[in-house]
Amino acid sequence: MAPKMFHLGWFTNFTTDEWNGPFSNGGSPWNGKFHVEIAQALERACFDYILLEDKLAVSEAYGGTSEIYLKHALGMVPKHDPAPLAAVLAASTSHIGIVVTMSTLGYPPFMLARLSSTIDHLSEGRFGWNIVTSAENSAAQNFGLDKLPPRELRYEMAHEYMEVCYRLWDSWGPDAVILDRERNVYADYTKVKAVNFEGKYFKSRGPLNTVRPPQGRPTLVQAGGSPAGRDFAARHADSIVAIGVGTASMKAYRDDVRARAEKQGRNPDDIKVLFLVSPVLGETDEEAQAKAARMSADPNFLEQCLALISAITDIDFAAYDLDQPLPGRLTTNGEQGSLDNFQQWGSGKTLRQLVVDASGGIAASVPLVGCPETVADQMAQAMEEVGGDGFLITTPMQAINRRMVIEVTDGLVPALQRRGLVRTSYSHKTLSENLRAF
Ligand SMILES: Cc1cc2nc3c(=O)[nH]c(=O)nc-3n(C[C@H](O)[C@H](O)[C@H](O)COP(=O)(O)O)c2cc1C
């Protein structure tokens, strides 16, 4: 029997490329050309999408200062706006999906619906929106709020926000543009309708002044951790950014959101849950293991990882002893699900061990270390245990250089393709169709 295929995405952002490593070259200019090369390499390897995560503040979470983030250009800052980059990537590729993170805190719904409709056209149906509500007080303060609203309220507002967007995208009927030369009519005005939305939090008259997007609406991506977040993802998402700690927790997460989707009347197969992983690749297994060991023993790496986790969770990890377990279960109004994955509460592990386990992120769904053949087998095994739907590949602390990408696109992916586990060509034109192809 042919093996069950899975999907691949790449998780990155519009930060500088790795600027001070042995295989990096000083940080590229901010003209997007580095990211164009990356997207083209990923397209060569037939990735479903490249996702550009985003945040809206300069963090001071670690030690109460922005020093560590700015000093090291630590994946959080500087961070340019991913939406214009998506337009550049769209013009330089023709198959890969381009997913951009935009916060419901930052954009009025009309503007977001219009912007995403525009990029969906520029990319001919390959645009995705990673829906986030933002999770930091500092981001909220950049937008005129005193602090971040509580999680439940953020999600309640986000549901209503989605409702406005759906109506705006639908405000142009599929057959509104008729381009009738004989009758001299571009668009049939009777098929372009006001929405007159008046909710508890948002109000928008509509119609959108952009033509209906090629996908009808952008592909929707989300990363829900809490029960409210999972319900949100189950209701709206075409693909979910997920992390687990080991295959049992990955399976539990996927089963849970699929059940929630079914309860809401959706076909769970229409939601592709992609798990974040950061493979460590070498020419041999020993070389890869040595690389992983070197990384996790480096005190700078450990401190920078903690700073990153602080920024994501709004918790100052500089205040805790690396060689002790955390003093209690930590909670946040920010990314609680991510924090729970990281803190592995009840495991008795020291903070140092937790950071090593997280392998340069907030958690590693499954550790992947070895030569391409070995890692391909590890991924196949994980997918068999989890049930599907694929992986979002990233790099430790999202530091990225060309070599890291090539190891995956020209080493790991061909090994997966030889096993029949991932696509060898794009079967459809739009991102939503490619995601649903298997
Ligand atoms: C892997 C991953 C990536 C995320 N990327 C972003 C991001 O780019 N920007 C952002 O504001 N939030 C991001 N989030 C946060 C989510 O949008 C969400 O707030 C978080 O998962 C907490 O969900 P919860 O409130 O349901 O626990 C990410 C979460 C995860 C797990």
For the segment 96-108, what is each residue's pLDDT rounded down to a tens digit?
999 999 999 999 9
pLDDT at 75: 78
User: Mutate which of 335, 362, 392, 393 to test ligand 1's pocket (most atoms within 8 Å of Cβ)?
Assistant: 335
Per-residue confidence (pLDDT) for residue 337, from 0 to 100: 82
- Whose Cα sits closest to atom 8 in ligand 1? 53
- Which residues line ligand 1 at a C-beta cut-off of 6 Å? 53-55, 101, 103, 132-135, 151, 223-226, 228-229, 241, 243, 276, 335-338
Cα 180 to middle of ligand 1, angstroms:
46
User: What six digits make up the tokens of 351?
Assistant: 């903070």
Q: How much is the pLDDT for 184?
A: 97
67-106 confidence digits (pLDDT tens) = 999 999 887 899 999 999 999 999 999 999 999 999 999 9
Protein residue with least CA distance to atom 14, ligand 1: 223
Percentage, residues of the chain above pLDDT 70: 100
Q: Long-range contacts: 112-118, Cβ < 8 Å, 24+?
A: 112/165, 113/164, 113/165, 113/168, 113/169, 113/208, 114/168, 114/208, 114/209, 114/210, 115/83, 116/213, 116/217, 116/218, 117/169, 117/208, 117/210, 117/211, 117/212, 117/213, 117/218, 118/210
* CB 301 within 8 Å of CB 293: no
Q: What percent of the chain shows pLDDT beyond 90?
A: 84
Amino acid identity of residue 367, one-letter, is P
**Domain regions of the chain by residue span:** 7-285+361-436
Is the per-residue pLDDT at 372 higher than 80? yes
pLDDT for the residue numbered 206: 97
Distance from the alpha carbon of residue 418 to the mean position of ligand 1, in angstroms:
33
Task: Summarize the confidence of residues 323-334 as an average pLDDT.
Answer: 90
| Centroid of ligand 1 to alpha carbon of 373 (angstroms) | 31
> What is the DSSP-derived secondary structure letter of residue 213?
P
Mean pLDDT score, 180-185:
97
Q: What is the pLDDT of residues 127-178, one digit of tens each?
A: 999 999 998 889 999 999 999 999 889 999 999 999 999 999 999 999 999 9
Distance from Cα 254 to the centre of ligand 1, integer Å = 16
Superfamily of domain 7-285+361-436: Luciferase-like domain (3.20.20.30)
For residue 401, pLDDT over 90 is answered with yes
The residue whose CA has the least distance to atom 17 of ligand 1 is: 132
CA distances from 380 to 278, 386, 390 (A): 15, 10, 10
pLDDT at 323: 94
Three-state secondary structure call for residue 291: helix
CA distance 159 to 179: 35
C-alpha distance across the termini of the chain, in Å: 15
Give me the pLDDT at residue 416, please. 98
Choice between 21 and 284, residue whose per-residue pLDDT is larger: 284
Residue to mutate (ligand 1; options 79, 221, 338, 341; most atoms within 8 A of CB): 338
Q: Which of 287, 399, 313 is nearest to 18 (CA)?
A: 399
Ligand 1 center to residue 205 CA distance, Å?
Answer: 30
The alpha carbon of 399 and the centre of ligand 1 are apart by a number of angstroms equal to: 19
Contact call for residues 362 and 309 (beta carbons, < 8 A): yes
Q: What pLDDT shows up at residue 299?
A: 86
Query: To test the ligand 1 pocket, which listed residue (14, 132, 249) has its Cβ within 8 A of the most ligand atoms?
Result: 132
At a CB cut-off of 8 Å and minimum separation 6, what does 287 contact?
371
Looking at ligand 1, which atom is closest to the CA of residue 54?
Answer: 8
Q: What is the pLDDT of residues 343-360, one digit of tens each?
A: 998 899 999 999 988 877
Which atom of ligand 1 is closest in space to residue 341's alpha carbon? Answer: 31
Give the pLDDT confidence score for residue 335 in this predicted structure. Answer: 81
Q: Tell me how far CA of residue 306 lies from CA of 72, 290, 311, 319, 358, in angstroms.
A: 13, 22, 9, 11, 10
Tell me the CA–centroid distance for residue 132 and ligand 1, in Å: 6
- What the block records as the tokens of 261 is 């989707």
- pLDDT band for position 25 (cuts 50, 70, 90): confident
Residue with tokens 């079967």: 427
Looking at per-residue pLDDT, the higher value among 20 and 286 belongs to: 286
What is the position in ligand 1's atom list of the atom closest to the CA of 132?
17
- Which sign, positive or negative, has the C-alpha torsion 304, 306, 309, 314? negative
What confidence score (pLDDT) does residue 1 get?
Answer: 73
Q: How does residue 324 score in pLDDT terms, banded at 50, 70 and 90?
A: very high
Ligand 1 centroid–CA 347 distance in Å is 24
CB atoms inside a 10 Å sphere around CB 180 = 11
Distance in angstroms (rounded) separating the CA atoms of residues 432 and 70: 37
Distance from the CA of 201 to the center of ligand 1, in angstroms? 22
The Cα–Cα gap between 121 and 214 comes to 6
**What is the predicted pLDDT for the residue at 314?**
87
Compute, in angstroms, the gap from residue 106 CA to the centroid of ligand 1.
15
Burial (CB < 10 A; 0-12, 13-18, 19+), residue 283, is exposed
Alpha-helical (H) ranges within 29-108 are 33-44, 67-72, 82-92
Q: What is the pTM of this model?
A: 0.96
190: which residues sit within 8 A by CB, 6+ positions away? none
Name the E strands within 124-271: 127-132, 177-180, 185-187, 197-198, 203-204, 219-222, 239-242
Evaluate whether 68 touches 74 at the Cβ level (below 8 Å).
Answer: yes
Residues 222-274 pLDDT 10s: 998 889 999 999 999 999 999 998 999 999 999 999 999 999 999 999 999 99
Average predicted confidence (pLDDT) for the chain: 95
